[in-house]
Structure formats: C-alpha cells, structure tokens
A = this chain, B = another copy of it.
Amino acid sequence: MRPTIKDVAKRANVSTATVSLVLHNHQRISNLTKKKVRKAIKELNYHPSHPARRLVGQSTGNIAFLLTDDHFLRTEPFYTGIFLGTEFEARQSNYYILLTTIPTQFGRDDALPRCIREMNVDGLIVAGKVPDILIERVQNLKLPTVFIDFFPKKGSYSAVLIDNLNGGLQATEHLIKCGHKKIGFIGGDIEHPSIRDRFTGFKMAIEKHNLVFDINRVLTTEKSTSKESGYHAAQKLHQNKNDITAIFACNDAMAMGAMRFYKNQNLQIPQDISIIGFDDIDSDPVQDPPLTTMKVPKLDMGTEAFRMMVDILKKNTRSYRKILMPVEIIVRDSTCNAQ
C-alpha cells in the first residue's frame, strides 16, 4: 500500500494538516517543522494522491488536447510537435494532458470525447481546424478553451496563431530579393485562415515591391494541402502560364509535390525555378534539393498554449488574447543560389 498523508504525519509527529501545509509550502510553518516533514516524505517516498486532491478541490488537473484524427495521422509530425510542447509544459505544472482525437467528419450526433462529456477536464486545447459543429457543442460546456493554429469564425477565444501574414510576406520577399519578378503561388484549402493569410502576405509583398500581381500565376483551387495537391497545382499552373521563375507554396507538403512535378518536366531547381515552402515539417536530408521554407516554432506553440490555459484557469479572468508566433526563414538550396 502506498503511504498516505497520515503515515507522513505519524512519522514526523505532526498532524495531517501540517503535512498538507508543508506540501503547499505555506508561510506559517516553522522551518524546523518543514524540515522534519520533508524528511518523512522523502523517507516514505510519499506522493499525494491525485484523486483525493481532486476530490476536495474542484478542479480535475486535466487538460484535453483535441484534434482531428487526420491531423494527428498526417505524414508530417506537425501537430505532434505542438502536442509535445504542451506536454512538456504541463509536466512542470501539476497537469495531465489528455490527448483525444475526433473524426475529421465530426457531426452533430457524434459523441464528444468522454473526458469532455463528463467534464473531467479543466480546460480544452484545440489544435488545428475542427468542424464548426464541434465548436458549437463545446461552447455550451463553458469550458475554458485555447485554440492553436486555428480560430473559430464566431465567438471570443484565446489562441496561439502563426504569424502567417508576415511569414507570407517574408517568404515572398526572399524570392524577390533573389531577383524573381514572376512569382507564382500555390495553395489548397484556401478557406483556412492560415492559408489565406499566407496568400495575403504574398500579395502584400508583390504590391510593396511594385511587381505585377497576375492572377494567372496563382492557383488556390486545390481542396487539400497534400503533396499530391502540390503536384496537381503546379501542373495546372504550368499549363496556364509558364513564365514563372519562382513558386511560393502555402506549405512544405505542396512544395514537395510541386518539386516533383517540375523535376518530371526536367526543370532544375533552383536553376530553372525556385521553390519556397512553409512549416519546416521535415528537414529531410535526402530531399533534393533541400527545401527553403518558413520555420514554424511548433514546440513553442504548444508551450504558449498551455501557459495561456494556466493563466485563464488561475486568474479566472476572461480577457481573450491572441498570440502570433513569429516564423523564421530557413534558406536551403531550393531557392536563389543559382543566380
């Protein structure tokens, strides 16, 4: 049987209340007593019972981390990295993270994850795009919620977002600095705010540098942002208009797909066409050439989201904040150098 607070109290010759106070490092305990109690704790290898604490307090000590299963199973470990950041941070505080997925096609009648349904969590972190109906249903629960890399259309929430606008701007300016004037953009799932912002950044850069914005150099009709979509997007763009000398792809997966297409066309990268991606999902050293991209601080995003959650929980304040995480250009060999 694992030791209880009583065992500690007995061993240290104090009351259980005192032990409890020491555990919480309370002011009004003498140093001597603290020392005694801590010694007993160590000797018994005592750890407070989680359930017992939770029962008396009213919090559960759990935070749900929710995402759709296809996001979790994506080829690239994007949300995995974010989760890890959250998990690391939660270890410091006294929280457990409950990772749960919902079907991508979550509907009105699908069951919410059990821990949420039973209110066995103090808060909810939602990563990536989720169906509106999920948000609606969660909203009714009045559970403190933090979004990562996604922001609902309606409602006020705290969120950790990527500075996609600035990222799109930077990425495009990098190409411009390399001397490119006819730059293409490929994107998918263009309704997604993140993708849309990257595109806006692209347009801003074009405008800022007095280049011509040519809609024929843009292809945003792909539904998803997979490698396959990238391949097809590049293909269609190539059919429309093939004076393009550089491509900004809305993410690395599409960039890789596009790369594949151009190689099949016997075009050299970056000699014939430069490609820049977004996310830095995979520093695959075998990739040929290594992809220039915008690095998104995945671990940090998870960390930030958890801290935000703790703030909300502690202060019980309802001032919604949005954090924009900075992105950083990682110049590899798929752009420029070839001039």
Q: Which residues of A contact B (CB under 8 A)?
A: 2, 47-55, 60, 62, 69, 72-77, 80-81, 83-84, 87, 91, 96-101, 113-115, 117-120, 227-228, 230-231, 256-257, 260, 264, 282, 284-286, 288
Knowing A47-B118, A118-B50, A260-B288 are in contact, say whether A72-B76 is a contact too (CB < 8 A): no
- By a CB distance below 8 angstroms, the chain B residues around A49 are 55
Knowing A47-B119, A257-B286 are in contact, say whether A80-B73 is a contact too (CB < 8 A): yes
Residue of B nearest to A282 (CB): B75
User: In the complex, A159→B282 CA distance in Å?
Assistant: 31
User: In the complex, A264→B60 CA distance in Å?
Assistant: 56
Knowing A50-B60, A118-B47 are in contact, say whether A286-B101 is a contact too (CB < 8 A): no
**Shortest distance between the CB of A205 and any CB in chain B (Å):** 28
Q: Which 5 A-B pairs have the closest CB atoms?
A: A51-B54, A47-B118, A51-B51, A51-B55, A227-B286
User: In the complex, A98→B65 CA distance in Å?
Assistant: 11
- By a CB distance below 8 angstroms, the chain B residues around A77 are 72-75, 77, 80
* Between-chain CB contacts (< 8 Å), 19 pairs: A47-B118, A47-B119, A50-B60, A51-B53, A51-B55, A72-B77, A75-B77, A84-B101, A87-B100, A87-B101, A91-B100, A96-B120, A98-B98, A227-B284, A227-B285, A228-B286, A256-B286, A257-B286, A264-B288
User: In the complex, A49→B121 CA distance in Å?
Assistant: 11
Further 6 A-B residue pairs, CB within 8 A, beyond A50-B118, A62-B96, A74-B77: A51-B55, A72-B80, A73-B80, A75-B284, A97-B98, A260-B286
User: In the complex, A119→B115 CA distance in Å?
Assistant: 20
- By a CB distance below 8 angstroms, the chain B residues around A120 are 50, 96
Q: Which of A53, A77, A286 has the most CB of B within 10 A?
A: A286
**Shortest distance between the CB of A288 and any CB in chain B (Å):** 7
User: In the complex, A100→B288 CA distance in Å?
Assistant: 34
- By a CB distance below 8 angstroms, the chain B residues around A260 are 286, 288
Residue of B nearest to A46 (CB): B118
Knowing A119-B2, A284-B227 are in contact, say whether A81-B75 is a contact too (CB < 8 A): no
A113-B91 in contact (CB<8A): yes
**Shortest distance between the CB of A41 and any CB in chain B (Å):** 12
Residue of B nearest to A96 (CB): B98
- By a CB distance below 8 angstroms, the chain B residues around A101 are 84, 87
B228-A47 in contact (CB<8A): no
